[in-house]
């Protein structure tokens, strides 16, 4: 509801793919590229299992952590402060916490470029402390770039699911509730007509 | 058997006569339009908020270190916690929407006119209570916008003469918004709905004494009244069905549209968000606050912009009933006023630029100007309409109202 983010107009509309396969690929890339620094403290490994991802696959990601533990990063706040000067934000809600949502996060991840001076910067967030984790700024050939775009797409799909894991359940329940209300309202309207027809004009 | 039980109760408690007096025999004008559904809807939303709030309170932690996490706990771990939370957050917006339509109807049809001034004033009190409750509830998720919204608004109380600084500390329980503020806002957010329920009872007692207004603007003769039950119970329930469809459409498919993205970031006293924006239902008043360059002036203007509605029964000098229905000038004023509120809402929403500041100031002038000019405009309009000759329909209405009043005087 807040004022339009200046960059939002330029954001390409992101098509979230919250199929199990896409999310599973997203988790895999996330564990390799992001989880070293970023936590997902509201997401537990068991949530992935409940979503439909294979438990053996989850075992490869969680290492020594139990299935019930949260997907927290091993990087301590102190170490992060020393390396980056900032504690990397928890990403559980990141898609919900930015104007533009998934479109913003996708544009941010793929927005890294090399300045003429050879420094890495970001179109969306020039002052970012995060390194170009997907290495898109140095990727020159188009095959490599589109591969990275795919990876970013999967990560953002996974993060979209992580921020709003009940979306599928909510919407499928929603159809029943709205359907029920339509029938109920039509019936009520007919009763209303019937009751009011008794009234002498 | 059932009759015996009822007779037993009636001997000790006026059950049957109460139902007869307030429902099956309660006379209601037969010409009410669907704009008269919104009082009932407001009552339903109030109940929805109380019920969902009760269950949310069972899982919520009013502690600065745990509040944000406990919301995510509700959203992710509590069975149907997401449904409770989205119903409550959407319900807040629905409540204001319903109340604003309810007020707009009262303004358009002149329902605040005698003898319904007390209805209008208890309603005004209800609006203030609702605003306070919503404001305190918004702190509870302990997100960035919760924290900074509460900081900005409590800070306005510095405008209190002589004891401003102490009042702010007293409200916050600390020098800055913090854990103490959160805990007391939670306690008050739980208390205020009961005050609202009490005020609603007064509102309804007054209603059942003066009875519903109606689009004609006068108190109709007995033959034009019908019992509330079954005619208006079924009409209200049909309206409720339509309302619930819209409400649940948001709850299930667009619940995030009423939530601020910045509020999904935990409160951080060290980082101020780029734009601190209140919820949509406060935007016009927020724009008025910002339109006045001086802080004290802004606070006074904002307070007045809410309270000023209470003066409507005195400001409207026209003798013609039915409000905007039979009064072309008043009708134009009404629509301009609604448009002005929308403009103010937009100005409150966008980050201030030199252009929007001017627009906001002009809109604020029009806002207060409407009220200040209303006595003169309504008087002049009244004179003009009488001089031009009123349509027989309105003359009949006025005559019938005078008759009613005379009859009542005799009783």
pLDDT higher than threshold 90 for residue B410: no
User: Which residue of chain B comes nearest to A182, CA vs CA?
Assistant: B245
The residue of chain A with its CA nearest to that of B73 is: A42
Of A98, A173, A188, which has the smallest distance from its Cβ to B238's Cβ?
A188
Q: Is B208 on the interface with A (CB under 8 A)?
A: no
Asked whether residue A35 falls in the same domain as residue A89, the answer is yes
Cβ within 8 Å, pair B231-A195: yes
State how far the Cα of B91 lies from the Cα of A42, in Å rounded to an integer.
25
- Assign B348 to helix, strand or coil: helix
pLDDT of A3 > 50? The answer is no
| A80 belongs to a structural domain | yes
With 80 as the cut, is the pLDDT of residue B175 above it? Answer: yes
Chain B CB contacts of A163 below 8 Å: 264
What gap in Å lies between CA A41 and CA A45, rounded to an integer?
A: 10
At residue B307, the pLDDT reads 96
As a whole number of angstroms, the distance between CA A73 and CA A31 comes to 9
A86-115 as b/e: b if 16+ CB within 10 A: ebbebbbbbbbbbbbbbbbbbbbbbbbeee
Within a domain: A139: yes
Instruction: With cut-offs at 50, 70 and 90, classify the pLDDT of residue B247.
Output: very high
pLDDT tens-digit profile of A47-70? Answer: 999 999 999 999 999 988 999 999
Is 60 exceeded by the pLDDT of residue A6? no
Helix axes B295-307, B117-139, angle to 10 degrees: 130
Count of beta carbons in the 10 Å neighbourhood of residue B181: 21
Identify the structural domains of chain B with CATH numbers, from first to last. 32-272 (1.20.810.10), 277-411 (1.10.287.980)
**Same domain flag for A95 and A177:** no
The yes-or-no verdict on residue A1 having pLDDT over 60 is: no
Residue A100: inside a domain:
yes
Nearest CA in chain B to A95: B261
**A1 belongs to a structural domain:** no
Asked if A39 and A124 sit in the same domain, the reply is yes
Residue B390: predicted pLDDT: 85
Among A93, A98, A171, select the one facing B252 at the smallest CB separation.
Answer: A171
Which of A70, A163, A169, A192 should one mutate to test binding to chain B, selecting the residue with the greatest count of B CBs within 10 A? A192
Asked if A177 lies within 8 A of B265 by C-beta distance, the reply is: no
The reply to whether A65 falls in a domain is yes
What pLDDT digit, counting tens, does each position of A148-197 carry? Answer: 999 999 999 999 999 999 999 999 999 999 999 999 999 999 999 999 99
The reply to whether A33 and A84 lie within a common domain is yes
Neighbour count for residue B161 (Cβ, 10 Å): 7
Contact B278, A19 (CB under 8 A): no
Number of domains in chain A: 2
Look up the ipTM and state it.
0.91
Contact yes or no for A185 and B245 at CB 8 A: yes
What rounded mean pLDDT belongs to chain B?
Answer: 95
DSSP bridge partners of A113 = A121
Tell me whether residue A16 is in a domain. Answer: yes
Q: Could you report the per-residue pLDDT of B94-138, keeping only the tens digit for each?
A: 999 999 999 999 999 999 998 899 999 999 999 999 999 999 999
Size of interface A-B (CB pairs under 8 A): 98
Q: Which residues of A touch B252 (CB under 8 A)?
A: 170-171, 173-174, 177-178
Residue B400 has pLDDT above 90, yes or no: no
**CATH code (residue A123):** 1.10.760.10
pLDDT tens-place string over residues B278-300: 999 999 999 999 999 999 999 99
pLDDT confidence of residue B399: 87
**Residues of B carrying an active site annotation:** 208, 212, 235-236, 279
Cβ of A173 and B253 within 8 Å?
no
Interchain contact, A181 vs B350, CB within 8 Å: no
Kindly state whether residues A90 and A180 are assigned to the same domain: no
User: B352: helix, coil or strand?
Assistant: coil
Domain boundaries, position A94 = 7-165
């Amino acid at each position: 509801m807040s004022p339009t983010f200046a960059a939002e107009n330029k954001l390409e509309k992101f098509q979230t793919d919250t199929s199990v396969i896409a999310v599973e690929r997203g988790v895999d890339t996330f564990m390799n590229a992001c989880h070293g620094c970023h936590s997902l403290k509201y997401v537990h490994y068991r949530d992935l299992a409940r979503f439909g991802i294979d438990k053996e696959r989850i075992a490869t990601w969680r290492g020594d952590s139990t299935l019930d533990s949260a997907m927290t990063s091993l990087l301590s706040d102190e170490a992060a402060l020393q390396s980056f000067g900032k504690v990397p934000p928890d990403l559980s809600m990141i898609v919900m916490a930015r104007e533009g949502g998934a479109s913003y996060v996708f544009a941010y991840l793929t927005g890294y470029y090399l300045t003429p001076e050879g420094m890495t910067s970001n179109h969306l967030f020039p002052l970012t402390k995060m390194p170009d984790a997907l290495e898109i700024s140095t990727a020159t050939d188009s095959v490599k770039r589109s591969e990275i775009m795919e990876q970013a797409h999967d990560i953002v799909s996974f993060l979209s699911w992580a921020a709003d894991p009940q979306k599928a359940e909510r919407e499928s329940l929603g159809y029943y509730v709205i359907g029920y209300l339509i029938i109920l309202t039509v019936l009520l309207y007919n009763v209303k007509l019937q009751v009011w027809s008794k009234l002498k004009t | 058997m059932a009759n015996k039980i009822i007779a037993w109760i009636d001997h000790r408690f006026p059950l049957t006569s109460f139902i007869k007096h307030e429902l099956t025999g309660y006379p209601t004008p037969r010409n009410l339009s669907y704009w008269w559904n919104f009082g009932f809807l407001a009552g339903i939303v109030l109940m929805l908020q109380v019920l969902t709030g009760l269950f949310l309170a069972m899982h919520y932690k009013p502690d600065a270190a745990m509040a944000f996490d406990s919301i995510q706990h509700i959203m992710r771990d509590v069975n149907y916690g997401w449904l409770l939370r989205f119903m409550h957050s959407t319900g807040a917006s629905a409540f204001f929407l319903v109340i604003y339509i309810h007020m707009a109807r009262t303004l358009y049809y002149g329902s605040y006119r005698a003898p319904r001034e007390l209805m209008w004033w208890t309603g005004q009190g209800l609006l203030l209570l609702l605003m306070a409750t919503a404001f305190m509830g918004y702190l509870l998720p302990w997100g960035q916008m919760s924290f900074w919204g509460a900081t900005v608004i409590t800070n306005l109380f510095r405008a209190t003469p002589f004891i401003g600084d102490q009042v702010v500390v007293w409200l916050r329980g600390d020098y800055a918004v913090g854990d103490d503020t959160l805990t007391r806002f939670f306690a008050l957010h739980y208390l205020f709905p009961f005050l609202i329920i009490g005020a609603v009872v007064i509102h309804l007692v007054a209603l059942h004494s003066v009875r519903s207004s109606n689009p004609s603007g006068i108190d109709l003769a007995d033959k034009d009244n019908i019992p509330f039950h079954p005619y208006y119970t079924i009409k209200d329930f049909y309206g409720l069905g339509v309302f619930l469809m819209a409400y649940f459409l948001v709850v299930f498919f667009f619940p995030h549209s009423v939530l601020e993205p910045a509020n999904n970031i935990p409160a951080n006293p060290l980082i101020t968000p780029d734009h601190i924006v209140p919820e949509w239902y406060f935007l016009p008043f927020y724009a008025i606050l910002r339109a006045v360059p001086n802080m004290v002036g802004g606070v006074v203007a904002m307070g007045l912009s809410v309270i000023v509605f209470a003066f409507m029964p005195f400001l409207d000098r026209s003798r013609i009933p039915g409000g905007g229905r039979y009064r072309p000038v008043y009708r134009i004023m009404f629509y301009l006023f609604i448009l002005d509120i929308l403009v103010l809402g937009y100005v409150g929403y966008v980050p201030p630029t030199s252009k929007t500041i001017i627009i906001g100031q002009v809109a604020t002038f029009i806002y207060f100007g409407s009220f200040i000019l209303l006595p003169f405009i309504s008087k002049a309009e009244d004179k003009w309409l009488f001089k031009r000759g009123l349509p027989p329909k309105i003359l009949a209405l006025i005559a019938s109202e005078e008759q009613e009043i005379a009859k009542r005087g005799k009783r």
